[in-house]
């Protein structure tokens, strides 16, 4: 296994991680911004008002995107297992 191959595997792992985390982090960011804007406008400073909607939104996104996420992760894992013979050369 040479340096280029290991860098390629690490690059693909980082891209896969970013791609899988983007929907949940993005929705959490958008919901958090909307709730913060609502709190600033109404001057309501309740801690549960920020926590509960973000948790619900993230769980809903995870529920809807889980089939896509699992297929991407299974594809990446299958590719890694298939390239094991190339790693020992």
Per the rule left: phi > 0, alpha: psi between -120 and 50, beta: everything else, 75 is alpha
Place 70 in a pLDDT band, splitting at 50, 70 and 90: very high
Query: Considering only CA atoms, which of 66, 51, 61 is closest in space to residue 24?
Result: 61
Query: Considering only CA atoms, which of 5, 58, 7, 8 is closest in space to residue 28?
Result: 58
Task: Give the residue extent of every domain in the chain.
Answer: 3-87
Q: Which tens digit of pLDDT belongs to each residue from 21-54?
A: 999 999 999 999 999 999 889 888 887 788 899 9
Phi and psi of 59, rounded to 5°? -65, -40
Alpha carbon distance 19, 23 (integer Å): 8
Residue 2: predicted pLDDT? 77
């Amino acid at each position: 296994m040479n340096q280029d191959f290991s860098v390629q595997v690490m690059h693909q792992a980082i891209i896969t991680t970013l791609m899988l985390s983007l929907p949940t982090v993005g929705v959490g960011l958008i919901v958090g911004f909307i709730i913060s804007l609502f709190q600033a406008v109404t001057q309501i400073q309740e801690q549960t008002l920020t926590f509960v909607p973000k948790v619900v939104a993230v769980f809903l996104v995870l529920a809807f995107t889980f089939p896509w996420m699992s297929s991407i992760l299974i594809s990446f894992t299958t590719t890694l297992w298939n390239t094991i013979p190339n790693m020992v050369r």
